[in-house]
Structure 1
């Protein structure tokens, strides 16, 4: 049994109590001299510590690896088994064992069961897809609402979800929360990454939370699947009522033409035609076409199959479907965002949108819902109004914090002064209990990332493209005669429609793609850090963030990897969870931690803010402003661009144009284009 304990995996025992339970009874049988439970526990504690079975300790210190297995039976001639951990429990040769065979078998069975469970868990982790925890929701039943719903008397389009909980696995995201959405208002849902915004939308969309049956819901998450369906038809199919009526109309007409009718088809067709006219079915293709055009789909693209589009365009298509069915979401380029803002300001239905784009929320939202501390708080007005109220509350919390700190200090002075005064003993005890009961006001805290920049400056040119031509297909040039340059003081933002070549240009600048013609020049000491808009694809989702950095940058201590992750807000338990279980924003933070580990002197960032919450975006902007190296980024977040960038490059017509007037001039150019195209 001792051999099995020594050779077992450290994770087999999670506490001393488990070790006592497994072998304590056996230890009592081994020696008549050791009957005291305290002595048994002390022996198990020493064994537990020495074998480093405590997982927490294993994370803090290096493991001791033996060159070869230990055969306890061969360590010494004087004893059958010998190890310093078990004084008084060793049998000399010839001494009869007092071990109960059944109890020994029972103890070994417990050990084997734990080891088998561990092996099964490791096997699942190393082979096959990772099985993640699932989200769930529960809601207190309201007899009144249930009665109204069953009777069909509830005709309101307001949504009231009261006293509900949402969990992800064992983690509680919302507890006893209330959500009230008034018909026709536009709600922006905001909050830190990983708190459950996306999960809440999924629970609403799947009707895991009760929504009146007469209210239709369309949830747009990322992108549509690629198949043979034309883009325009994909949008039209979102109107399930129209599609169902048209399908039935075709079936009935086919029956009549084939002479298989039963005489009732004519009457039903009349009903269908009336309903199609009522919902203005004939105008649907034109409306869908206008929405697609506003999102950048020209007439030819509207007839292309969905499988022909890239991920970015499929996401736009998903948004077009949502707009057609009256429910939008975010994540577009600047041109589409500007069009969408204007489009949604006249919207008649209810909107619930998760967005980290401050300007978008100011333009669109009539209310802000803030998810924090497992609850939802609603604020009237746009995002700026929400921030003013929130900042005032934080100031009040800070004042409350400081006042309570003074009160604590006052109590502590009394305790220290009269701690050993017998006449004041009861008062001291009362003050100690009061101190224990006092709770601190919650204060928002955020770990500001910092981009390391302990490198020497060097003279330009640092990075440039000179008369570069590039194409994937000779019949279609992405760039012609492209000439751009950047140095260690550059703060450049690249904008332009999806598909204009922004990401391609970044890859040419990094040297990942070679020009067909022209020259790429990079300084010999240039060290580029790259953040891809598809950064999740570059992460191994089946391992933890700590393991990820250890594989990418071997040779450092676990403490160093944890410190690096912690500087980007991935700390504690998050650092050792599988990356797949992290939220989109948390995955982005892991990608940032990985990107900065090698201390680059130039950053190229492709859509760095897509999955980041507003606090993180603000912190990222501050960190980039303090960074002493160069930055080129692609972003559609207007506020982020204004905070960071000094130059604006517009990617269009197979070249790049520098806008002297910055973002304001670019916005004016887009508005003028919309007016000419008839979208404004």
Structure 2
């Protein structure tokens, strides 16, 4: 049976951990103290805390019933023990001294176990067995400590300086060429470890990590569960990954400097870069020796010096041959074409590949970081939400590239379409453990997980019914002489039943946009509209598009193609430089910005921020409105800087509905949302009675919510005659024609 504290944690897995840990500790104290307490009041106190923090009311009610039924008999027994203790005071003193004696022995002290309380007593303790048991316990504790990884903030957690990258890369990935790593298994198996983050917050407990070489694993779980922490611990070898397995983690954007994008990718393979530097250095030294030998030609008195030069040249020739062999082994001659191909696939034109890294925005520098990782071809490639930094064409290229990746991939992602295409296996991180779903993409995992949950629930309910049946018979006939033997038999059956825990309930979220007031068309219409920031830089030109109350439009295209600019023109944030925009005079638009967090005052609570920007409602009305987007309990009253990225996004979605919009304009709404949040958003859009215009890279969200697909490309906006899947196939076909094909 799980402990009292574990029951409390399991009943409210999604709330703030500070609240859940406090409640768990409080109830653990209540369960162990022998003082007289008001148990009912304590349970009600914990119930109110959990509900205010946003826990599920049904789950909390079940928890409270279990706590009362489990603790009430315990309290009665404690009260009886307290009364009895007064009569057994002397015996307890002796027992306590014996226990102290044993404890001292356990920790290395010494005591005469035969002498207690000033008199000689007969000891039944086998000293040899006791010492053996102590050694076993100590060895077990030491072994456990060795397998515990307390992952604190790493010195390289923040973006390292470029000069630190080389040192870090060579430390994490020692050079093993010339067959040094051949024949060694590249499977990863780390047995029984714990993983902590920060000041003792445990995210994995007594867990095993198994990664088969060549498989591509999708690591999924709720926001804040610790997936990124696991990736960081692996990338820094804070978990016991074999030294011959190379690792690379795409985590931070590339530091901007004067290095060209293409050269930055080439430099990512640090060992290749250093081998080329060695080649250049040795070649220069050989040239100097050749020049010196030429000067000494025909001088008999310089015979000894010529021998020295010949010896040095022979040594340098040998070193150069070794460098050539190593460069050949890593196929250095193909490096530049391979790097250019990867960059092209991620959206970098030939001209952009020559631009300095400092000229790119943060999103493009993240693409550079991804390109550098793909170029290095590590044995273990770690990707953290790679689709968040990419547009649909680049995601399509990346998924196609990874499908042929020969080594191991571990990717954290909430993008279902991406995982369906890339993943060969799924790892589900939850409840401080990892569950494995072999030969599964996301859809197979989801179906299998639901089937497992149903089976667990069915098994649990059947056992509870059987337990109740046995217990009813036992209670009825325990003291019946004729039935006592049968009652005893059922007691033994009850004791032998395995302890089953109720299956975890999946986190469910519900978004709810308000009802829409009807308007007469036209709603929004662009006619021959163009926009340019200056005369030399036209962003969009001659665009004709209209949005109605029944529109479900997805706008796709490469980053920088003008999608966000088009949304700003439609919503009136900027005026077109030519052409016409017409809007219904009564039209209200709900606009979700791609960088919505930048517009929030994170020092305010969600309720305070709403009151400041959308005044006119009571605090209760704001809290009720936030509750429609999963911001329940005290979350709406906390400073928004304490909320997770997904929770901040939910606040932004809640604000969309405050002016009762007719049209929702959404710019990359899927960023920061986990699977539950994406499902809630898709369902809310589907039920919304107004029009929707959305820019998104999430293929699943587009396919679930959109009826029309518009492509923004080369400043033009045109309707695509097909589905998002057909658009992706079109992208791959064009990439093949352009020679941007998969290279490994």
Normalised TM-score (structure 1): 0.71
Please name the residue that 1:157 is paired with: 186
Say if 1:162 and 1:246 are closer, same or farther in 2 by CA, change over 3 A.
same
2:556/2:695 contact within 8 Å kept: yes
Please name the residue that 1:452 is paired with: 513
Report the Cα distance in structure 1 between the residues aligned to 2:609 and 2:202, rounded to whole angstroms: 27
Please name the residue that 1:311 is paired with: 362
Report the Cα distance in structure 1 between the residues aligned to 2:602 and 2:254, rounded to whole angstroms: 23
Offset of residue 451 of structure 1: 2.9
SS in 1 for 2:525: strand
1:453/1:601 contact within 8 Å kept: no
Report the Cα distance in structure 2 between the residues aligned to 1:274 and 1:247, rounded to whole angstroms: 15
Report the Cα distance in structure 1 between the residues aligned to 2:471 and 2:658, rounded to whole angstroms: 44
1:194/1:582 contact within 8 Å kept: no
Offset of residue 399 of structure 1: 2.8
Say if 1:234 and 1:510 are closer, same or farther in 2 by CA, change over 3 A.
same
Please name the residue that 1:288 is paired with: 339
Report the Cα distance in structure 1 between the residues aligned to 2:248 and 2:654, rounded to whole angstroms: 36
Say if 1:416 and 1:278 are closer, same or farther in 2 by CA, change over 3 A.
closer
SS in 1 for 2:555: strand
1:176 partnered with 2:206: yes
Please name the residue that 1:622 is paired with: 683
SS in 2 for 1:237: helix
1:606 partnered with 2:667: yes
Choose from 273, 283, 291 the match for 2:324.
273
Please name the residue that 1:346 is paired with: 404
Report the Cα distance in structure 2 between the residues aligned to 1:580 and 1:214, rounded to whole angstroms: 41
Offset of residue 546 of structure 1: 4.8
644-653 vs 323-332, greater mean Cα deviation: 323-332
Say if 1:438 and 1:157 are closer, same or farther in 2 by CA, change over 3 A.
closer
Please name the residue that 1:146 is paired with: none
1:228 partnered with 2:258: yes
Say if 1:412 and 1:533 are closer, same or farther in 2 by CA, change over 3 A.
farther
2:555/2:563 contact within 8 Å kept: yes
What per-residue deviation string (whole Å, max 9, x for no partner) do you get for residues 564-595 of structure 1?
Answer: 44433344565565544544333322332333
RMSD, aligned CA: 4.1
Say if 1:171 and 1:415 are closer, same or farther in 2 by CA, change over 3 A.
farther
Choose from 206, 226, 231 the match for 2:236.
206
1:453/1:629 contact within 8 Å kept: no
Report the Cα distance in structure 2 between the residues aligned to 1:478 and 1:598, rounded to whole angstroms: 30
Offset of residue 250 of structure 1: 3.1
Offset of residue 528 of structure 1: 1.6
Please name the residue that 1:383 is paired with: 442
Please name the residue that 1:50 is paired with: none
Say if 1:513 and 1:165 are closer, same or farther in 2 by CA, change over 3 A.
farther
Please name the residue that 2:248 is paired with: 218
SS in 2 for 1:513: coil
1:394 partnered with 2:453: yes
Offset of residue 668 of structure 1: 3.6
Report the Cα distance in structure 2 between the residues aligned to 1:570 and 1:255, rounded to whole angstroms: 68
Say if 1:558 and 1:165 are closer, same or farther in 2 by CA, change over 3 A.
farther
SS in 1 for 2:268: coil
Equivalent runs, 1:500-539 vs 2, <5 Å: 500-539=561-600
What per-residue deviation string (whole Å, max 9, x for no partner) do you get for residues 357-414 of structure 1?
Answer: 2222222211111111111111112222212211211222443465577679989999
1:191 partnered with 2:221: yes
Offset of residue 304 of structure 1: 0.8
Say if 1:586 and 1:140 are closer, same or farther in 2 by CA, change over 3 A.
farther
1:187/1:352 contact within 8 Å kept: yes
Say if 1:449 and 1:388 are closer, same or farther in 2 by CA, change over 3 A.
closer
1:634 partnered with 2:695: yes
Say if 1:165 and 1:532 are closer, same or farther in 2 by CA, change over 3 A.
farther
Normalised TM-score (structure 2): 0.65
Determine which structure has the larger helix proportion and give its number.
2
Q: How many residues are treated as equivalent by the alignment?
A: 542
Please name the residue that 1:141 is paired with: 146
Offset of residue 192 of structure 1: 1.7
Please name the residue that 1:103 is paired with: none
1:323 partnered with 2:365: no
Report the Cα distance in structure 2 between the residues aligned to 1:168 and 1:579, rounded to whole angstroms: 22
556-565 vs 385-394, greater mean Cα deviation: 556-565
Equivalent runs, 1:90-101 vs 2, <5 Å: none
Report the Cα distance in structure 1 between the residues aligned to 2:417 and 2:348, rounded to whole angstroms: 24
What per-residue deviation string (whole Å, max 9, x for no partner) do you get for residues 472-494 of structure 1?
Answer: 23212111111111011111000
2:235/2:382 contact within 8 Å kept: no
What are structure 2's unaligned runs of at least 5 residues? 1-21, 24-35, 37-47, 54-142, 149-173, 175-179, 293-308, 478-486
